[in-house]
Structure 1
């Protein structure tokens, strides 16, 4: 968190990509970035806590261009996508978005993207932070599939918060507001057809516009801000406090290539009989009873420091039984909340553990039954 960490400057270059909205983000006063898919992702505007409070009360525009799209098009498009996920895709409709775990042949997680179906032979894979473009190209080549795999000039812009529906209705009409969750429709932006989905990486509700053509980015941004001025619209970004409250996992932090979907709590997306074409299905068939799993935990004491490395979890005999991967103080809950990977023998609700922070201090930890929201 920018409030508690003094970090060195981030030096930009052509290999660390800016976005179609970067100039507007900078004009809005961004204070910190992280790097995600080799691209800038804003992480703080005013402060983490002030951004959190505003997200829950108004509406924010998020530059999430870093959620890069992998377009998979051609007669074997559905086959290629199914090879990468244990979620059954056979019933997916042309206006749907699916959350899918991507796994390798060993059943380990590679990514957790949102899959956008455009037609039976055309998909966008909206990826989390790993180089899945090369994985899909490698699979397609090895299997001699009739597909094109490339990154289109498509950059998501999220509209999140309680007033998101009002803002979208003003700009695009009531019919778009009536879009169901994880469904998408077409809109016109600068006389270009673009896609809008009811989705986003928050629990506050909203939409994601898939900007098709970087040159239209700033005009779209300006249109939304002009329409939402009286709604207290602000530039924002995914918020660590809000996403921990709701149990929104971050690939690369809360789950990595060390883990299976079952360990990440994603077992409901492993439909192994129907998705038998997935390369990881055989391995996953013996993994449905994990020995460790994601849990919500609470941490005693004062506001925790920024978590920049995993914090080990210990039982009362000092054995390591897991690790904390995300942590924050929640102003609304008035407690320290966290996400942890916990061994089976210690993951029951109410189990008392402890962690040690980077400064060596000890904090008691309690395992919860579920996340807070």
Structure 2
């Protein structure tokens, strides 16, 4: 029998929440072969990356501009005023390909693939386990009629997906493939993409896809991103072979637009209410607790977690993820304990905090 931890006001958990503060320290990360390096690793390092974390068993750049030079707020300004490039190879691509690809994907996500994911479109989706807990919240790319890529957040989707189909019920192959993305985010991103690829990039709809080339190498380009700014993701095929011919080319083409190499901006994604797996939710959270109930289609056919999710919706939840604003004038007060400032007043507010209708990323290009 598993033991549970009870925290005042929260539901019981099997595995306790990690409440230890990470903070800053003089600890160093050992670079080893146990954690993989992305195809962009050496070039992001040359661009000045000085802090890393690990994500999907890869080193993930987390800071370029030193604190004394403006730090993450300076990176934020590059993102929101100009254009930025991010090494996001940690978004590993899990390919599902074969005659039953659509049926398999429909069985493992909570949205209806057949109705909502046409070919050459991407969608934000969630994968749940049999208890209704969230396993991952990837962007799903349908790159062909019989081929899908899960561009995953930080959990082992490959092992889970292969396990789901270990009996061979679905006629598909499931593998991690050598495709690595960079994100091009910011108000000048469309100008940079147009220069590199052509004017047709302006016709890509929000969450749309195209197959094209960058500096002569095959890529898939999506109008998506982790910033809620106008942005694109460039998925380089055979990335381990050709990264050295694509990253420098993007930097060269981006000079006139003040292109900057930065880390994925958690400041901007928090403003936008974009969730981060492992930080805002994990496998013991269900979609209704973290503002993802709109993802749950209880009218479509059977899928993993459907029965549990139906029960959770009927019973209701004990806790919900909300947005809090601290400081200033407040109306609906709650109390929040901060690591250094103790207990402070906070106001529950609508999320996203900035651009709640997502007009910025959806703007007509």
Shorter chain as denominator, the TM-score bin is: 0.7 to 0.9
More helix by share: 2
The equivalent residue for 2:277 is: 251
Show the 5 A alignment for 1:1-373. Answer: 5-46=24-65, 47-91=71-115, 92-142=117-167, 144-213=169-238, 214-274=240-300, 276-288=301-313, 289-300=316-327, 350-359=331-340, 361-373=342-354
More strand by share: 1
**Residues 100, 170 of structure 2: 8 Å contact kept:** yes
Q: How far apart in 2 are the matches of 1:37 and 1:88?
A: 27
Partner SS state of residue 244, structure 2 = helix
Partner SS state of residue 80, structure 1 = helix
User: Structure 2: where are the runs of 5+ without partners?
Assistant: 1-22, 66-70, 355-365
**Residues 350, 368 of structure 1: 8 Å contact kept:** no
**Residues 183, 233 of structure 2: 8 Å contact kept:** yes
- Of the structure 1 ranges 185-194 and 278-287, higher mean CA displacement relative to structure 2 is found in 185-194
Q: Cα deviations across residues 268-325 of structure 1 (Å, max 9, x unaligned)?
A: 1111112x2211111111222333222110123xxxxxxxxxxxxxxxxxxxxxxxxx
The verdict on how the C-alpha distance between 1:94 and 1:360 changes in structure 2, with shifts beyond 3 A counting, is: same
Deviation at 1:79, TM superposition (A): 2.0
The verdict on how the C-alpha distance between 1:233 and 1:145 changes in structure 2, with shifts beyond 3 A counting, is: same
**Residues 298, 366 of structure 1: 8 Å contact kept:** yes
Deviation at 1:351, TM superposition (A): 3.0
Q: How far apart in 2 are the matches of 1:106 and 1:350?
A: 37
Q: Cα deviations across residues 176-220 of structure 1 (Å, max 9, x unaligned)?
A: 232111110011235443210111100111110111112211211
Deviation at 1:45, TM superposition (A): 1.1
Q: How far apart in 2 are the matches of 1:149 and 1:192?
A: 24
TM-score w.r.t. length of structure 2: 0.85
The verdict on how the C-alpha distance between 1:42 and 1:102 changes in structure 2, with shifts beyond 3 A counting, is: same
Partner SS state of residue 51, structure 1 = helix
User: Structure 1: where are the runs of 5+ without partners?
Assistant: 301-334, 336-348
**Residues 217, 242 of structure 2: 8 Å contact kept:** no
Deviation at 1:366, TM superposition (A): 1.7
Q: How far apart in 1 are the matches of 2:26 and 2:232?
A: 32
TM-score w.r.t. length of structure 1: 0.83
Partner SS state of residue 123, structure 2 = strand
**Residues 32, 45 of structure 1: 8 Å contact kept:** yes
- Of the structure 1 ranges 184-193 and 69-78, higher mean CA displacement relative to structure 2 is found in 184-193
Q: How far apart in 2 are the matches of 1:39 and 1:351?
A: 42
**Residues 58, 162 of structure 1: 8 Å contact kept:** yes
**Residues 183, 198 of structure 1: 8 Å contact kept:** yes
Deviation at 1:360, TM superposition (A): 7.2
- Of the structure 1 ranges 224-233 and 349-358, higher mean CA displacement relative to structure 2 is found in 349-358
Partner SS state of residue 185, structure 1 = strand
Q: How far apart in 2 are the matches of 1:242 and 1:7?
A: 27
**Residues 80, 139 of structure 1: 8 Å contact kept:** no
**Residues 36, 58 of structure 2: 8 Å contact kept:** yes
**Residues 128, 305 of structure 2: 8 Å contact kept:** yes
Corresponding residue pairs, total: 323
Q: How far apart in 1 are the matches of 2:241 and 2:214?
A: 11
**Residues 121, 208 of structure 2: 8 Å contact kept:** yes
